[in-house]
Amino acid sequence: MKRREFLKSALVTGAGLLILPGGVRAGRNSPGNKLNIALIGTWGRGAAHFDAIASENVVALCDINEDHLAFGAKRFPGAKTYVDWRKLLDDHQALGLDAVVCCTADHTHAFIANWALNRELHVYMEKPLAISVEEARVVRTNWLKRKSKLATQVGMQRHANPNFNRVFELIRDGAVGELQAAYAWGNRQIRRPGYLPAQGAPPPNLHYDLWLGPSPDHPYNPGYFSGGPGANCLQWNMYWDFGAGQIGDMGSHTMDLLWNAVDAKLPTSAEAKGEKFNPEVTPVECESPANDWRGPLRVHWYQGGLMPNSPPNYDLKKIDHGAMFKGTKGFLVAGFGSRVLLPFGDNADMTYYKPRPQDKMLPPIGDFQKQWINACKKPSLKTACDFEYSGNMIEQMLLGLVAYRVGKKLEYDGATGRVTNVAEANALLRRTYRPGWTLNG
Ligand SMILES: NC(=O)c1ccc[n+]([C@@H]2O[C@H](COP(=O)([O-])OP(=O)(O)OC[C@H]3O[C@@H](n4cnc5c(N)ncnc54)[C@H](O)[C@@H]3O)[C@@H](O)[C@H]2O)c1
C-alpha cells in the first residue's frame, strides 16, 4: 500500500487503533486531545495567533515570504515549512492535520478556506472571508455541508466584546421600539490613485508569483510590502484584485456589530453611491428581509468620510467605527465597546421596554480564538462567526460593491445568488482567476 493510502486507511479507522508513522503527532484523537494545526501566513496578523495556537500541536507553517516563514519557525521550531499553501494542504494526511489558521492576503482567503474544508479540516480564517459574492457563497456552501463535524470562525474578534450581546438584547427587547433602519460606518480612508507601477524585482526571500496567486498579474512594487506587522494589509487591501477596500477591512468588524443585532439574512436588494473615481467612498444601502421578530429593514453602510445623519443632540462623529439603530421610539448608537440609548419624542417614556432579567442575558463568548479551538474538539459547540453568519454578512457587503460598480439598484435573489434586474451585474459577482488556480479545489 502506498504511504498516502495507508495513512488514509489508518485515519478512517476513527475510534479504532490510530497508527501514524514516526514524526506525525496524533492530533485531536490523542490522549492530550491537542489539535494538529497549520498556520498559513506566519508574520503580521499571523503572530497575533501564536499564543492561541501554542496550546496545540503546530505541525506546519506556510508563508510566501521566507523571512516571515523563519519568523514563525522560531516560535514553532518543530513545524514543517512550506511556501505554497496548496502543497501544505496536499500533505494534510501525512501531517495528520486537523485544522488551519489562515492570515494571508484577502484574495486567497476563499481559496484556502475551500481547499481546507474539502480536506475535512477545521478553519479559522482572517477577515474578510471572501472578496467576491461567488467566493462567499461557495465557502458557505462547503461549510454547511460539513457543519456537524467541522468548526469555522472568521477573525471578527471584536464580536466577543460583551457589548455585542448587550446591543443585541436592547434591540431584540424593544429598547428603541420597533426597529426601522440600521446604519454602520467606518472612517478609515486610504485613497490611492491606482495599482502601483512596476518598480524593481522581488527580493529573493519573496515568492511574488505565489503572493499574486489567483489574482490577475500586476507588476511587483515594494510598496505592497512596506507596512508594519499586522498593518501591512493597508498597503494592498484597497485594490480589488487583492481585497475589497473598507468593505472587507473595517467593514467586516463594524457591519458585524449591526448584523448580529438585527439578525439579518441575505438582502433582497442593494444600492450604492459614491465618488466614481474612488472606491473608498462607497456607501451601500440594502433591504434586509423580515425575520421572525422584526419587519423588513433598510441596512446602510457608510465609508470614505460619509456618515449617516446624527440623531438629535448626539454627534455620531464621536465614534470612528460604529452602528446606529433607529426604531419607532428612539435610537441606539454603539461603538465596539459601549452604547448609548437615545429615546425621542413625547411618548418615549420607556414604559414599553422591559429589560431582561440577569438570568436571561446572553452568556459571554470568552476568548474568541479559544471558542473555535474548543469547537474543533467538540463540533457540537457553536462559534460566533462561523462561515454561515460571516458568509452571509460579507456577501451582502460585496453585493453592495457590485451595485457601486454598475451604478444601479440591484434586485437580488439570495437563494440562487443572481441579480434579477440588471444582467451585467451578474458578471461582477465573480472574479476571473489566473490559470492554474482553482477556487474550490
Ligand atoms: N482580525 C483583525 O483584527 C485583523 C487585523 C489585521 C489584519 N487582519 C487580516 O489578516 C490578514 C493579514 O493581514 P496582515 O496585515 O498581516 O498582512 P500581510 O501582508 O503582512 O500578510 C500576513 C502574512 O501572510 C503572508 N502571506 C501573504 N499571502 C500569502 C499566501 N498566499 N500564502 C502564504 N502566506 C502569505 C505574508 O508574507 C505575511 O507574512 C488580512 O486578511 C487582514 O484583513 C485582521
Q: How far is the CA of 105 from the centre of ligand 1 (A)?
A: 5
Exposed e or buried b per residue across 219-252, where buried means at least 16 C-beta atoms within 10 angstroms of its C-beta: ebbeebbeeeeeebbebbbbbbbbbbbbbbbbbb
Domains of the chain and any CATH numbers: 3-157 (3.40.50.720), 159-190+247-361+385-427 (3.30.360.10)
Question: What integer pLDDT is reported at residue 282 of this predicted model?
Answer: 56
Ligand 1 center–CA 43 separation, angstroms: 7
pLDDT-wise least confident of 30-44, 269-283, 381-395, 398-412: 269-283
CA–centroid distance, 104 to ligand 1, in Å, is: 4
Please determine, for residue 21, whether its predicted confidence score (pLDDT) is greater than 80: no
Are 214 and 221 in contact, with CB atoms under 8 Å apart?
Answer: no
> CA–CA separation, 195 vs 192, rounded Å?
8
**CA-wise closest residue to 286 among 394, 384, 386, 178:** 394
Distance between Cα 47 and ligand 1 center (Å): 10
Q: For position 61, what pLDDT does the model report?
A: 98
Reported as a single tens digit per residue, the pLDDT across 131-166 is 999 999 999 999 999 999 999 999 999 999 999 999
pLDDT value of position 332: 98
Alpha-carbon distance of 434 to 365, in angstroms, equals 40
Atom of ligand 1 nearest to the CA of 65: 37
Which of 88, 233, 253, 385 to mutate to test ligand 1, by most ligand atoms within 8 A of the CB atom?
A: 233
Q: Residue 274's pLDDT is what? A: 72
- CA dist 375 and 361 (Å) reads 22
* Strand runs labelled E in 261-399: 269-272, 284-288, 297-302, 321-327, 330-334, 339-343
What's the pTM value of the predicted model, to 2 decimals?
0.93
Residue identifier of the C-alpha nearest atom 28 of ligand 1:
104
270 has a pLDDT exceeding 80: yes
Using alpha carbons only, give the angle 191, 197, 200 rounded to the nearest 5 degrees. Answer: 130
Tell me the pLDDT tens digit for each residue of 186-237. Answer: 988 888 888 999 999 999 999 999 999 999 999 999 999 999 999 999 999 9
